[in-house]
Structure 1
Amino acid sequence: MAIAELQVYAVEAADVTGGVCVVRCVGGVARAGQVYAAGELRLGLRRIERYGRAVEFFDAGHTAKVHLTGPVVALLARGQVLTYVPPGGHGLAEVEAWLATGPPLLEEPHPGPLRAMATVRMQDEALPDGMRLRWGRVALAALARSGRPEEQPYVRSYLLRCFGPGAEGDPDRDPAALCREVLAGIGMTPEEAAARARVWRELPRPAIQRLRRAKNLIPCMAPARPHLAATDPLALAADAWAAVRPGLP
């Protein structure tokens, strides 16, 4: 099957987020949701319009008005050819660009595999620290996109443990923010957890699962604890939960 290619006729509108172009398909089949290359840069094909209505695809020899994502749209020139990038042909920068936009593109990795890939790269000590941090942020974004933000504290805890606190305003390596996130995820006091743990075999399954989730989350605060003042209420809460944890099921 021929690789899809789009030749630019005109750029009708463009800003830092993307724009609208009139293009002709000069090869293959262009589909909404695909990703195209303009040199080393990438554009997302969000929407296709023909004769005033949205369509899912158009093929070689036909023209259409297309809505593209990416600031490079403003730099496109008449006659320039955009080439389809197949799945798996994307790097860190492209993944970051996708995750900064709204609905996923069809050619994005599924959030689950993307999270798994990003977690592995985040932990790869052969990579530069800056790149590992970027992959950590990709893992966080993939969790948010897949509707699993409750798993984000584990990633933030790893980033804080390996790389220390970030600059002021960096939520991904903020010790206080991490503790607040963990405490919100636990959703009960250490005293309540200790009381329930003493009779946990008599509790309904959801209550037991909640205690086990608390037990799993508590260690996420450990990398943050050294960066908190001894009298900080968050430090006191972290210490209280650390003391309770051994008794949880």
Structure 2
Amino acid sequence: MPIAELQVYRVEEADVTGGLCLVRCVGGTARSGQVYAAGQSRVWLRGIERHGRAVDAFGAGHTARVRLAGPVVALLSRGQVLTSVPPDGHGLAELEAWLATGPPLADEPLPRTLRSLAIGGMQDERLPEGVRLRWGRVALAAAYRCAAAEGASGLVRGIELAFVRAYLLREFGPGPGGDPAAVCREALALIDLTPAEAAARARVWRELPRERIVHLRRIRHLVRWTGAARPYLAPGDPLALALDAWSRVGRELP
């Protein structure tokens, strides 16, 4: 797909948060949510209006009024060309600054793309430890954004968070990699069954409705990833005992 490019005709209004511009698309297709490079800065395309109507996109050769977010909008000049940033073209520092603003879920990179970028950076052993940990924090933020965008349950979100937290604990240990007790406590709080109840359902899982089978599988995945915290819990710790009980049951879940 061609990279979208917008040429600025004029900035009609602007403040420190962004503004409204009249632009012409000179390449590709411009869509709401895209990120554009303006020199070394970034702007976000938050809305498009053509012929008095809001639209999701417009193509090369057409003009539109666009709502752009970012303080640099006030500095855009006539004739300046903004180039869309591809999904893998976002740097770590840019993503951290972007996430700090609490951006709309429709902004690029979209939640699943953001998660893929972050997991890749977190697992890249060529990078310094500190950089990988920063990517891990972005991956955690991406898990929350994925859940919000997809309307996922707390349990589904918890599985995604547990996957990232388990990796960070295994690779970097307690402290830099997280708090094992907090990881365990938060995960176990998401389970709405006791180990005994789950074990009873596991014995007859083939007879259960599909949604209950899926629920048991999600519990198994959550317990599996949370197990990375177990070696760091003290013997006799109630959290350790609870996790041990769930680990035994987890082997029986579908």
Normalised by the length of structure 1, the TM-score is 0.72
3-state DSSP of counterpart to 2:42: strand
SS of the equivalent of 1:43 reads strand
Once residues 2 and 189 of structure 1 are traced to their aligned partners in structure 2, the CA distance between those partners, rounded to angstroms, is 52
- Structure 2 partner of 1:13: 14
Between the two proteins, the alignment pairs up a number of residues equal to: 239
1:102 pairs with 101, 104, 107, which one? 104
2:22 and 2:65 in contact (8 A); partners too: yes
Equivalents in 1 of 2:160, 2:132: separation in Å?
A: 18
Q: Distance in 2 between matches of 1:195 and 1:3?
A: 56
User: 1:52-131 alignment to 2 at 5 Å?
Assistant: 53-55=53-55, 56-57=57-58, 65-73=65-73, 76-79=75-78, 81-85=80-84, 87-88=86-87, 90-93=89-92, 94-96=94-96, 100-105=102-107, 108=108, 111-131=111-131
Unmatched 5+ stretches in structure 1 = none
Which residue in 2 is equivalent to 1:162?
171
Q: Which residue of 2 aligns with 1:4?
A: 5
- The aligned residue for residue 134 of structure 2 is 134
CA contact 1:29–1:60 (8 Å) conserved in 2: no
Deviates more, 1:188-197 or 1:202-211: 202-211
Structure 2 CA distance for aligned equivalents of residues 22 and 117 of structure 1: 31
Distance 2:193 2:208 in 1: 16
Any gaps of 5 or more consecutive residues in structure 2?
none
Residue 2 of structure 1 contacts residue 27 of structure 1 at CA under 8 Å; is this kept in 2?
no
The root-mean-square deviation of aligned C-alpha atoms, in Å, is 3.7
Q: Distance in 1 between matches of 2:196 and 2:161?
A: 25
AA at the equivalent of 2:188: L
User: Separation in 2 of the partners of 1:191 and 1:125?
Assistant: 41
Name the CA distance, whole Å, in 1 between partners of 2:79 and 2:7.
8
Could you give the per-residue CA deviations for residues 2-43 of structure 1, whole angstroms, max 9, x where no partner exists?
A: 96233364473323xx31143443844773423221122221
- Give the residue type in structure 2 aligned to 1:90: G
CA–CA separation in structure 1 for the residues paired with 2:220 and 2:239: 17
Contact 1:194 1:247 in 2 (8 A): yes
